[in-house]
Structure 1
């Protein structure tokens, strides 16, 4: 009976291509928050961290001040799916922005890194609302964002694509994103047309010429003698 159940083929379903942002779209989005205001500086630091680390939305909202290490070997610690913990390194640019933000934030290690004005932890809906506002502003300066759906997961996909385009191995990307199965990163290979175009450029073009085949006279004579 168990063998019969296991023999049932899996249901077929359409797989959608992952959506991600191009570098110029990321720049426009990061420039959108009004950094003359407290909320804008918080949003800028949050978005930059999301794009660079690829953290899930729940991982971003769950971050505490003590989870961000800005000393030697700067990194961020988070708890992902299955309560698995991992560390993601930070670039110098992200480290610099977070250092300024956390100094202004002035929170204790067990307090949220990106709180609301009242000190409460930002909710998932709150992050999505701030992202929607930033997209509205960014698309005024980057027309390709018009009509493009952007969610916190889009920023995660964008991080993966940046790593892939930089030549990072897909197994390393899986560890970076906290994927249980390294095969999950193959979706990014399918999503980027530039990678496929570079692969095509490395191949040798067929030498066949267009037009109808014209057999030589000796071949026609041989066929007629049969």
Structure 2
């Protein structure tokens, strides 16, 4: 059995060397991996009585990992998507461990062959211009929250930023704001990659008014909650859910859609695609590392066109190296 201190070192090297140095992952991604390990340690403690300082490689075998997946579903009520993400994080560590500690290859290989849960393919939701106008109509710009919400919606629908990217935007990231024809915004994406996206004239002009009225300038974060603290992912999701309910009365088609903050990103991609923008430019716009990621929008667009065609019918046819921390939890909390 691998000595516990060796296991501790393996985990720390995985985070510090593999994730942060070699792969240069963003802070949000590293945090997701960290949370997976914290949950796994909680699972070992509560379900098997294994204290964090006693965890060894044997506790990463197929039986334990499979049990963890069941624990997430049955005890924590996690979705299959969440379980898949947690399992993927553990498998990433196991692949690293296979390189660093080949003496445990039998244990590791058995855990690596655990299959991912099959998920129903979710329907990709898009927001039409009429639906977007209905969202904007729900924002009372006479209030700070309403003004902020309108700014949030405009940036989401204009730029297609991820929520994590939206929340990290500062006033200083906006370029040429008072030259609305050339205004743009600097975005820090996955893997600490930076890109610049142009802004509509209407978006730029609204940012001018909103930031002036809310006294946002310099290096200030653009989005704050009602308590003056940085807005969170859950805060954005909550506001989108609330605005969706209100906007549905004006745009009934929203009642049939499950709109999330990411739906705005899908919508930007589709708007660009249907406007004739080539797929490589869309990939750069959205910050995709591979055009293959962007290809799904072409497939989705084709599906939409096919459904439209089928609704009309087919003519003539009626059918169709260092000292590790003593406690693994101390290390994870420090990340």
TM class by shorter chain equals: 0.7 to 0.9
Take 2:309 and 2:203, find their aligned partners in 1: how far apart are those partners?
32
The reply on whether 1:173 has 2:282 as its aligned counterpart is yes
Match of 2:205 in 1: 96
Match of 1:163 in 2: 272
Match of 2:162 in 1: 56
Contact 2:178–2:208 at 8 Å: present in 1 too? no
Match of 2:321 in 1: none
Q: Does 30-39 or 137-146 show the bigger shift?
A: 30-39
Q: Show structure 1 runs of 5+ residues with no match.
A: 211-226
Take 1:61 and 1:147, find their aligned partners in 2: how far apart are those partners?
28
Take 1:55 and 1:64, find their aligned partners in 2: how far apart are those partners?
14
Match of 1:25 in 2: 131
Q: Does 148-157 or 104-113 show the bigger shift?
A: 104-113
CA separation of 1:191/1:109 partners in 2, compared to 1, >3 Å: closer, same or farther? same
CA separation of 1:198/1:165 partners in 2, compared to 1, >3 Å: closer, same or farther? farther
Match of 2:234 among 125, 129, 135: 125
Take 2:133 and 2:242, find their aligned partners in 1: how far apart are those partners?
15
Match of 1:216 in 2: none
Structure with the largest fraction of helix: 2
CA separation of 1:35/1:13 partners in 2, compared to 1, >3 Å: closer, same or farther? closer
Please state whether the residue corresponding to 1:88 is helix, strand or coil. Answer: strand
Match of 2:251 in 1: 142
Match of 1:74 in 2: 183
TM-score, with structure 2 as normaliser:
0.54
Take 2:163 and 2:153, find their aligned partners in 1: how far apart are those partners?
11
Q: Show structure 2 runs of 5+ residues with no match.
A: 1-108, 318-335
Match of 1:215 in 2: none
Where relative contact order (Cα < 8 A, 6+ residues apart) is larger, the structure is 1
TM-score, with structure 1 as normaliser:
0.78
The reply on whether 1:45 has 2:151 as its aligned counterpart is yes
Contact 2:185–2:198 at 8 Å: present in 1 too? yes
Q: Does 26-35 or 12-21 show the bigger shift?
A: 12-21
Please state whether the residue corresponding to 2:131 is helix, strand or coil. Answer: helix
RMSD: 2.6
Take 2:254 and 2:119, find their aligned partners in 1: how far apart are those partners?
28
Structure 1 residue 107: Cα displacement? 2.3
Contact 1:114–1:121 at 8 Å: present in 2 too? yes
Q: Deviations 1:32-69 (Å, cap 9, x if unpaired)?
A: 11222111011001111101100000001111111122
Please state whether the residue corresponding to 1:77 is helix, strand or coil. Answer: strand
Please state whether the residue corresponding to 1:146 is helix, strand or coil. Answer: helix
Query: Which of 1 and 2 has greater Rg?
Result: 1
Take 1:124 and 1:99, find their aligned partners in 2: how far apart are those partners?
24
